[in-house]
């Protein structure tokens, strides 16, 4: 080897070592993203079950008591989360949209954050315990390059390379798994239905109580999975070099939860633990789940795009939000258009299609035992006045206003109360301004061609009986639209 070659090799080795040291100085960023789950963890006050692993994250990190999603359904919520943008701004507001002949592309200058992490030298991965080495759940409503992700697990990274990993967990969907209900659930004990406390707008019916108990057991199952992730990080000696962010994509799947803008649908847990994160802290300011995009990039030392609507939650001089906004649009075949603004004390909801019932026909939700049972109780006249009004009124108010301090279950609509007129008008304006300022694409009805494009894919993917239900529901949606409902 010549002297020049030897020197060049030595300089290359030094350069590689310096780069490795620089990589190791940057933290790994790991998201644990859970399906269909509200903040039913011990650190959030749940007493019916124990959740030691999520509680540990809260004890050793920062817990956000008031975190909210911008959409109460998987694909719209995840499209917002992965871009740090409102789904209504990027045209991804309709659930499972852009899947057919007509597609959706992100606006110029908007990139999924895995792409931004890769540009910053990070290894990107997305997987789940059930994945068997396959990429985990994405569910984005826009066209994206699978090359965003280097793999389903961080083990494929180069020595010393930092990683951005998303661990996807089934969460509340676990209670839809018959095998788990029959066997896996019982391995760790089963919650007794009598001890559960559903919100008062649900009856204490055996079917409802058993479902809620199974849901709580799914929370316990999720907590054990969180423990397994933490244990692996500890075994590999990288836990203290990894920022772990735990959250869910929206609230529990129930009649006023998933798909709706009440707190049952949009309030989610958010806990962050890792280097530089305050330990044992509780943040009570209003937080939007899209903020994880900017926060994660900042923790990695990566630049935050100027157009990104997310905010870095741990930035010096961070200015807390004084309101959070959420939106619900079409969910599968069921057409709806709802917007909300939530402040420290009040929630304002606008129903743009008030002539439709709260529980519109929806094949996915109508297949659930809890919804079937609620419809049976309604038909039998066994629901109380509040339950009837909130769940089965044939129409909805155009505006809803709730005092969340006095009425956290959002039962008493104050929109017609003269004493709250000033609050109503102020929040009405806040929502109007947000719709304009953020370029809410849901303000224009979905094109019939896009609806038909997505529905063809949806119907074709079902068995004969389910496909027939979908066709019937689609006909109802088109009929109501023709009637101006």
Q: For residue 159, give Cα distances in angstroms to 21, 276, 478.
A: 10, 23, 56
The tokens for 397 are 């108010």
- How would you label 6-16 residue by residue, b for 16+ Cβ within 10 Å and e otherwise? eeeeeeeeeee
* Dihedral angle, C-alpha 77, 83, 85, 88, nearest 10 °: -50
How are beta strands 28-34 and 163-169 bridged, if at all? parallel
In angstroms, the CA 44 to CA 79 distance is 26
Q: CB–CB of 34/169 below 8 Å?
A: yes
In angstroms, the CA 200 to CA 411 distance is 9
Q: For residue 353, give Cα distances in angstroms to 147, 329, 357.
A: 40, 11, 9
Q: Give the per-residue pLDDT at 18.
A: 35
Q: Give the per-residue pLDDT at 23.
A: 57
Positions in the chain short of pLDDT 50: 1-22
Residue 341 β-bridge partners: 325, 348
Residue 326 burial by Cβ neighbours in a 10 Å radius (0-12, 13-18, 19+): buried
CA–CA–CA angle 435, 113, 257 (5° rounding): 50
Domains of the chain: 15-314 (3.40.720.10), 328-482 (no CATH)
In angstroms, the CA 38 to CA 262 distance is 12
Distance of CA 388 to the CA centre of its chain: 28
Q: Give the per-residue pLDDT at 130.
A: 81
Residue 56 burial by Cβ neighbours in a 10 Å radius (0-12, 13-18, 19+): middle
pTM value > 0.75: yes
Q: Which residue, 42, 400, 451, is CA-closest to 216? A: 42
Q: CB–CB of 372/366 below 8 Å?
A: yes
Residue 244 β-bridge partners: 30, 273
Q: Which residues contact 276 (CB under 8 A, 6 or more apart)?
A: 27, 243, 299, 314
- How would you label 59-88 residue by residue, b for 16+ Cβ within 10 Å and e otherwise? ebbbbbbbbbbbbbbbbbbbbbbbbbbbbb
Q: For residue 335, give Cα distances in angstroms to 73, 203, 233, 249, 252.
A: 13, 27, 43, 21, 21
Q: Give the per-residue pLDDT at 396.
A: 98
Q: Give the per-residue pLDDT at 188.
A: 84
Residue 179 burial by Cβ neighbours in a 10 Å radius (0-12, 13-18, 19+): exposed
CA–CA–CA angle 127, 130, 134 (5° rounding): 45
The tokens for 126 are 């997305």
């Amino acid at each position: 080897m010549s002297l020049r070659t030897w020197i060049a090799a030595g300089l290359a080795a030094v350069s590689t070592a310096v780069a490795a040291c620089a990589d190791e100085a940057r933290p790994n960023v790991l998201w644990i993203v859970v399906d269909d789950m509200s903040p039913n963890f011990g650190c959030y006050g749940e007493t019916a079950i124990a959740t030691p692993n999520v509680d540990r994250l809260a004890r050793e990190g920062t817990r956000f008591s008031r975190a909210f999603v911008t959409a109460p359904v998987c694909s719209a919520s995840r499209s917002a989360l992965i871009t740090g943008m409102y789904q209504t701004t990027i045209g991804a507001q309709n659930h499972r949209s852009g899947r057919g002949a007509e597609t959706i592309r992100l606006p110029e200058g908007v990139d999924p954050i895995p792409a931004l992490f890769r540009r910053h030298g990070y290894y990107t991965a997305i997987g789940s315990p059930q994945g068997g080495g396959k990429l985990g759940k994405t569910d984005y409503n826009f066209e994206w390059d699978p090359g965003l992700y280097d793999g389903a697990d961080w083990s494929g990274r180069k020595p010393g390379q930092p990683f951005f990993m998303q661990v996807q967990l089934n969460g509340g969907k676990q209670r839809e798994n018959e095998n788990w209900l029959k066997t896996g659930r019982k391995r760790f004990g089963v919650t007794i239905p009598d001890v559960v406390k559903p919100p008062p707008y649900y009856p204490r019916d055996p079917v409802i109580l058993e479902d809620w108990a199974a849901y709580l057991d799914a929370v316990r199952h999720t907590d054990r999975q969180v423990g397994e992730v933490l244990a692996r990080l500890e075994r590999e000696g990288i836990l203290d070099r990894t920022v772990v962010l735990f959250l869910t994509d929206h609230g529990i799947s129930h009649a006023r939860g998933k798909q709706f803008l009440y707190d049952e649908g949009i309030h989610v847990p958010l806990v962050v633990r890792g280097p530089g994160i305050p330990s044992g802290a509780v943040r009570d300011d209003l937080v939007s789940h899209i903020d994880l995009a900017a926060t994660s990039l900042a923790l990695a030392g990566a630049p935050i795009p100027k157009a990104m609507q997310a905010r870095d939650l741990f930035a010096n001089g961070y200015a807390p939000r004084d309101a959070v906004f959420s939106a619900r649009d079409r969910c599968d075949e069921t057409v709806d258009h709802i917007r909300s603004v939530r402040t420290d004390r009040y929630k304002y909801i606008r129903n743009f299609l008030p002539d439709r019932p709260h529980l519109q026909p929806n094949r996915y939700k109508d297949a659930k035992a809890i919804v079937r049972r609620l419809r049976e109780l309604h038909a039998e006249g066994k629901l109380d006045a509040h339950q009837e009004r909130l769940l089965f009124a044939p129409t909805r108010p155009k505006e809803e206003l709730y005092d969340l301090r006095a009425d956290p279950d959002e039962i008493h609509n104050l929109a017609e109360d003269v004493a709250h007129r000033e609050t109503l008008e102020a929040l009405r304006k806040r929502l109007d301004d947000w719709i304009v300022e953020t370029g809410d694409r849901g303000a224009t009805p979905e094109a019939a061609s896009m609806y038909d494009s997505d529905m063809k894919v949806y119907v074709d993917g079902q068995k004969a009986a389910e496909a027939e239900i979908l066709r019937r529901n689609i006909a109802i949606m088109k009929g109501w639209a023709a009637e101006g409902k």
